[in-house]
């Protein structure tokens, strides 16, 4: 990666979540010296993200993560792309993914595209 390009990680869902992702980037980078690592910037804004665990685990009355879309998925071992149109409000937003269904689900990746 050219030094003019950088990987940006915006944290805030939990201060250690962004740090954990950056640590994984470093751990999986093949570098012979410090200068061989990818250029990474970590910004963490935990005060700007609502306390979702307070709602999920402690019964807070306000749900800061109301559903803004739904993507139905098929059975396990199906490597397919699923999509849905959603409206994400402007500003800093936390995205939460909830799986409902039998078995175990793994989210391999996701992307947001704008028109």
- Residue 3 is predicted with a pLDDT of 62
Stretches where the chain sits below pLDDT 50 are: none
- Residue 93 is predicted with a pLDDT of 67
Q: How far apart, in whole angstroms, are the C-alpha atoms of residue 28 and residue 30?
A: 6
Beta strand pairing status for 40-44 and 7-11?
Answer: parallel
- Residue 94 is predicted with a pLDDT of 66
Furthest-apart CA atoms within the chain: distance in Å: 51
The secondary structure element, H or E, covering residue 40 is strand 40-44
């Amino acid at each position: 990666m050219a030094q003019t390009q950088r990987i940006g990680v915006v944290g805030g869902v939990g201060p250690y979540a962004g740090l954990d992702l950056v640590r994984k980037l470093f751990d999986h980078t093949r570098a012979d010296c410090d200068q061989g690592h990818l250029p990474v910037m970590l910004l963490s804004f935990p005060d700007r993200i609502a306390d979702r665990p307070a709602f999920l685990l402690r019964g807070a009355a306000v749900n800061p993560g109301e559903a803004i879309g739904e993507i139905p998925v098929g059975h396990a071992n199906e490597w397919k792309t699923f999509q849905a149109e959603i409206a994400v409000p402007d500003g800093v937003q936390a995205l939460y993914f909830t799986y409902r269904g039998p078995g175990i689900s793994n989210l391999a990746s996701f992307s947001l595209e704008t028109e």
